Structure 1
Amino acid sequence: MSTPVPRPAIAAVPPYRPGRAAVSDDLKLSSNELPFAPLPGVLATATQMLGRMNRYPDAGITALYDVLATELDVEPDQLSAGTGSVDVLYRTVAAFAGPGDEVVLPWRSFEAYPLAIAVTGATAVPVPLRRDATHDLDAMAAAITERTKVVLVCTPNNPTGPVVTAAALETFLTQVPSHVLVVVDEAYVEFVRHPEAASGLAAMRARDNVLVLRTFSKAHGLAGLRIGYGVGSRDVIEAVRVAVPFGVSDVAQAAAIASLGERDAMRSRVDAVVAERDRVAAALRSAGWEVPVSEANFVWLPVGERAMDVAARCEPVSVRPFAGEGVRVTIGDPAANDLVVEALAGGL
């Protein structure tokens, strides 16, 4: 008996592998979550919205777009929200690339990139990072062909941590044809302290072929509510807004608005994470580990074939190994961070 057969592109897509489960939330340093409770007022706002769960959410995401437009100095029709920035990523790639097209991306980078490309039937063109874990933008520019429809730039890069500088991004963008969409993924932008870091928003304002991705999952601590957004030109956003109706819940929309109203508290928490990130990185370097300069809420250990062994040494703390490449350690509660530092004190 015959059975339905999925498209070859779908059948070839490997499953996304989330961070390893931990014995407790405090010991989970594998998923780049914040170690803090919800920001003041956010939990109360979200809880109140649960009282109308019998109603559909605002499909137009009107109130959040109005607040974000003011926050970012853009127009509401330049915004497209989704269930995390990864949802907006998937919709963006699907809107602009398909079978026969190519998408250029840095690698190693965010695990979802190859998956988002594969489901469209487009071809991923991965470009290796430089030895210092930064984007090789010259090589990425050289990889663009007449088949290229989208280029992905991740800054800070997940899982390695370095940023793309403003000068490097500007030089790169001058080499990208205007019909090719450049997606600048800034999921960790709030943690950046590099004085010369690129601004995706500045690039987007200067060029119609730039789309910026941002999220409430990281600095705002709303990972469980799944809400992120893209910012771009009206024409690009119109295509990206083609989505499943009512996808973003009212709880997530309301929590995001409330979180934007707690900027000072959010920045204070981010500052604490940044200080802890720098402390952990310095301690690991002192122990003999190679640690690229991270501008995100994690550090990267490029240990190659020893990745699984290094991750095992950190137990009971759960970190994120990438087999054959390295280990990413989220910056969490200082006590959990100390356990990792102690476990790795002897060096490789």
Structure 2
Amino acid sequence: MIEDINSAGLPPGLLRLMDNENPLGPSPLALEAIEKYMQAINRYEWFEAAGNGGLQHLHPVNMLIQALAKSDGIPLCNPFAPEAPHPYFISSGVDQILKLLAVAYLTPGDRELIEAEPGYGEISEKARLINDGGIPTRLVRVPLTENHDHDLDAILQAITPKTALVTITNPNNPTGTLLPYEALEQFIDATPEHVVVIIDEAYHHFVRDPNYRSAMSLATSRDNVVVVRTFAKVYGIRGVLLGYAITSQAIKKKMLVYNHARASPLAIMAGIAALDDHEHVRRSKQVVIDAKERMYTAFNEMGLAYIQSHTNFVMVHVERDSQSVIQSLLDRRVAVSPRGSQVLKGWIRVSVGTLPETEVFLTSLKTVLAKI
């Protein structure tokens, strides 16, 4: 029953399966880091005792870059020198990076942005704001294929000399579908060099396909590719706002001109700790696997179509008006997402929860569908 639910980070009796959050809560090691360094937030520069009795001057951004490079398998100069070229750009969340790229590449005016429909949409919303602000900007939304994948051929056909940005979320949000590396590589090779291709890998940790490859190597070997990643999902530290991009020096240089979204040192230290929290990552992946398997079984029993997902959420076709189902669930204090339902009529997006949370959702969904 909903009264028995006590979800991480929420008041009792509320089930929130709408923003693809980590149902286990934040990385414990990240919380320890926040507790350790929070007493220093009154300082512009941070120090801690060194093993030789001296003091160590901390440089959180440089520390995170080195930790990310180790985690991502990207070589840096040795010894590390922050002034030397490297592919990392640290920011206060992926959304800020997407908006920054929109400002950097669309505000000259008379430019175009291409994104799938449905897609994540954050950068498309920024493009609309730029256009509404008096800077002519054309937004092109390209429908997904019948299998709910990105239609890369159609995106290529939509590119014009005015196209500045193409954004691809892989795995996609809200459909959870995955493009193979080879398809992305061919697409990028066929894309004109004046177009910057953004690949959002927010959900890459949840991909179980043994053939999956990140697009990071494309970002480090091409001048017009950006890969963006977040600490909000598997690491569960959405509230501190931390994300990063991997890209060329040319794109980094342009981003720095417009940058206004520096990550806080506290967020960065939490992120460094989270990268080492392998047990939390393992448990977070397993809860996603278990919840999706339970939902798939239930949806099959209920005769509901769904999309096999490579993420921590599932799209399910409820065979009724999406908004009515979402509101009826919300009346029962179960929140799911309408993302994508404006295009995919009758579908809702459900984030994974723990198994007890998943059971409450499924029971609530059965009750709602029986009444609508």
TM-score (normalised: structure 2): 0.81
Alpha-carbon distance in structure 1 between the residues aligned to 2:13 and 2:222? 42
Give yes or no for the alignment of 1:80 onto 2:89: yes
Equivalent AA in structure 1 for residue 128 of structure 2:
A
Of 310, 318, 321, the match for 2:338 = 321
Q: Deviation of residue 183 (structure 1)?
A: 0.3
1:167–1:303 CA distance, 2 compared to 1 (3 A) = farther
Q: Is the 8 A contact 1:27 1:316 kept in 2?
A: yes
Offset at residue 118 of structure 1 (A): 2.4
Percent sequence identity over matched residues?
Answer: 29
Aligned partner letter, 1:220: Y
Whether the aligned pair in 2 keeps the contact of 1:331 and 1:337 (CA below 8 Å) is yes
Q: Is the 8 A contact 2:305 2:316 kept in 1?
A: yes
Structure with higher Rg: it is 2
Counterpart contact for 2:235–2:280, Cα < 8 Å = no
Moved more, 276-285 or 297-306: 297-306
Task: Provide the rounded CA distance (Å) in 1 between the counterparts of 2:224 and 2:65.
Answer: 21
SS in 2 for 1:49: helix
Comparing 21-30 with 33-42, greater Cα deviation is found at: 21-30
What is the match of residue 66 of structure 2? Answer: 66
Instruction: Give the C-alpha shift of residue 69 in structure 1.
Output: 2.2
Q: For 1:310, which of 310, 314, 325 is the aligned residue?
A: 325
Counterpart among 301, 312, 322 of residue 297 in structure 1:
312
Change (3 A) 1:127 1:74: farther
Cα shift at 1:241: 3.0
Partner of 2:31: 43
Distance 1:208 1:342, change over 3 A: same
What RMSD over aligned residues (CA atoms) do the two structures have, in Å? 2.5
Q: Deviations over 1:13-53 (max 9, x none)?
A: xxxxxxxx986486111111101133233212102221012
For the Cα contact (< 8 Å) 1:284–1:344, is it kept in 2? no
Inter-partner Cα distance in structure 1 for 2:282 and 2:258: 31
Unaligned runs of 5+ in 2: 1-8, 47-58, 77-81, 132-136
Note the C-alpha offset of 1:332. 1.2
Equivalent residue for 1:158?
A: 173
Deviates more, 1:39-48 or 1:235-244: 235-244
Q: Runs (4+) of structure 1 moved beyond 6 Å?
A: 57-60
Aligned counterpart in structure 2 of residue 341 of structure 1, from 348, 356, 362: 362
The size of the alignment, in residue pairs, is 328
Q: CA deviation at 1:298?
A: 0.5
Note the C-alpha offset of 1:302.
Answer: 4.3
Judging changes above 3 Å, is the alpha-carbon distance between structure 1 residues 185 and 57 closer, same or farther for their aligned structure 2 residues? farther
Query: 1:218 Cα shift?
Result: 0.2
- Structure 2 distance, partners of 1:246, 1:155, is 24
Q: Does 1:110 align with 2:120?
A: yes
Matched, 1:197 2:207: no
Contact kept, 8 Å, 1:26 with 1:333, in 2: the verdict is: no
Matching residue within 143, 149, 157 for 1:128: 143
The one-letter code of the counterpart of 1:71 is S
Secondary structure of the structure 2 residue equivalent to 1:81: strand
Call closer, same or farther: CA 1:242–1:252 in 2, change over 3 Å: farther
**In structure 2, how many angstroms separate the alpha carbons of the residues matched to 1:231 and 1:36?**
28
User: Aligned pair in 2 of structure 1 residues 156, 212: CA closer, same or farther (>3 Å)?
Assistant: same
Distance 1:184 1:57 in 2: 34
The alignment's TM-score, normalised by the length of structure 1, stands at: 0.86
Write the distance in 1 (CA, Å) between the matches of 2:258 and 2:41: 21
Out of 188, 209, 230, the position equivalent to 1:215 is 230
Give the direction of change, closer, same or farther, for the CA distance of 1:156–1:222 in structure 2 (3 Å limit): same
- Which of 89, 109, 119 aligns to 2:98? It is 89
Task: State whether residues 313 and 350 of structure 2, in contact with CA within 8 Å, keep that contact through their aligned partners in structure 1.
Answer: yes
Gaps of 5+ in 1: 1-20
* Secondary structure at 2:335 match in 1: coil
Change (3 A) 1:36 1:107: same
* 1:331 maps to amino acid: V
Offset from partner CA, 1:199-252 (integer Å, 9 cap, x none): 211322342211100000001111111100100112112222345567311110
What letter corresponds to residue 158 of structure 2 in structure 1? Answer: A
Instruction: Tell whether 2:273 aligns with 1:258.
Output: yes
Task: Check 1:339–1:238 CA distance in 2 against 1; reply closer, same or farther (3 A cut).
Answer: same
Q: Is the 8 A contact 1:102 1:150 kept in 2?
A: yes
Residues 103 and 148, structure 1, Cα contact 8 Å, conserved in 2? yes
Task: Write out per-residue CA displacement over residues 240-279 of structure 1, whole angstroms, 9 at most, x where no aligned residue.
Answer: 2345567311110000000111124312321221232232
SS at match of 2:205: helix
Say which SS state the counterpart of residue 211 (structure 1) adopts. strand
Distance 1:236 1:102 in 2: 17
**C-alpha distance in 1 between matches for 2:287 and 2:320:** 32
Measure, in 2, the Cα distance between the counterparts of 1:22 and 1:319: 15
2:6 corresponds to: none
Aligned to 2:134: none
Task: Quickly say closer, same or farther: Cα 1:320–1:246, change in 2 above 3 A.
Answer: closer
